[in-house]
Amino acid sequence: MAERSYPADQAEAGLRLFLGWFGPHYARSTSVEDASSDGTTLTATVVVGRRWSLRTTVVNTFGPDATVAWEAARAALERRLDAEGRPLAVWVPRGASFPTEEPGLSQFVLSLDGARRLDDGRLEFCRPVNLYLRRVATTGSVVTALGGLAGHWAQFTNRVPGTFQLNSNELFRLPASQEERQELFDRIVLASQQPEVDDTVVVPARDCWTANDLGGGGACILGTPAPENDAWSASLRRNLRRLVKAANEAPATGADARALVVLGPATYAEDEKLSWALRGMDPTLYAGFDILAVIADGVVKPILQPGRSVLPWDAPLR
């Protein structure tokens, strides 16, 4: 067996995640033949139920954002996860960083011991962080937040005695549990009762990331160092259109069906921009595919899918 290279091929991890959804969805076994990848586009023939072929293309939109430092950091963490026998796809929230040296690597691995399984099958693991709440005036009842809680300022309006600034730059992703989120909001409100003007109170919190158990084949870190802004969104649309057009034009001789899988970043699966970008395209660009799906934050989301019994493996066996 060839020695594994680092950093891992994100498109290959995307294929494993797609098949993890595809097999159970259609209740068919799958095996991969003649897969090839350049890191940005992966093509593979998937044998379905030992009888049919699905020509699958995975396009990886993480590539243009990657830097040398980011790829080196990915490689360091993936090596450590593989050494610990943890074949996980770890989803890094936008703008977040992760440890590349000790003791940070050991602490990161230790946090995975407390991972819990969400209802959709993903793993959620959390690490302790601090928030910093500072009163800037005794009038008003509002909190201005920076960082991971910037979009949640309304949770504090008319609940705090004064005007506050909340530094949540260490927090990139909230837990999935609505109860845990509300507990954090209540803890911030309680902390607002304490400081005088210009005093700062430290509020403990947990930064919760997601991961998928790949079941083997090694770990993969998925994320982007690029901030989300208008320039990035425009670049995503251009890059995605180019990748989809090339994938649609690639031959798929002899396949019973074709699938296109788009892999990309999102802090929360419900906020991913890939679906929006695809729906805004000329549909003829992906007209050659029977299945179209996006993967972000560990969730496989079908965008285009035939009705039941249309695909050959979805019909009753005779």
Task: Give 272-297 pLDDT, tens digit per residue.
Answer: 999 999 999 999 999 999 999 999 99
Query: Does residue 254 surpass a pLDDT of 60?
Result: yes
d(CA 81, CA 68): 20
User: CA-CA distance, 46 to 29, in Å (whole number)?
Assistant: 10
Q: Is the pLDDT of residue 85 over 60?
A: yes
Tokens 């590349």 identify what position? 100
Task: Determine the residue type at 176.
Answer: A
> Using an 8 Å Cβ cutoff, are 37 and 12 in contact?
yes
pLDDT of residue 317: 54
> Which pTM was predicted?
0.93
Asked whether 200 and 164 are in contact (CB, 8 A), the reply is no
Q: Where residue 316 falls among pLDDT bands split at 50, 70, 90? A: low
Least reliable range by pLDDT among 39-43, 189-193, 196-200: 196-200
Mean pLDDT of 23-32: 95
Q: Which has the closest alpha carbon to 9: 54, 66, 47?
A: 66
Percent of the chain with pLDDT over 90: 84
Instruction: Report residue 188 as tokens.
Output: 């911030």
Answer whether residue 32 shows pLDDT above 70.
yes
Tell me the pLDDT of the chain averaged across its residues: 93
Residue 101 has pLDDT above 70, yes or no: yes
Q: Distance between CA atoms of 115 and 123, rounded to whole angstroms?
A: 6
Band of residue 1 on the pLDDT scale cut at 50, 70, 90 = very low
What is the separation of C-alpha 7 from the centre of its chain, rounded to a whole number of angstroms? 17
Residue 253: band (very low, low, confident or very high) from pLDDT cuts 50, 70, 90: confident
Q: What is the pLDDT of residues 111-163, one digit of tens each?
A: 999 999 999 999 999 999 999 999 999 999 999 999 999 999 999 999 999 99
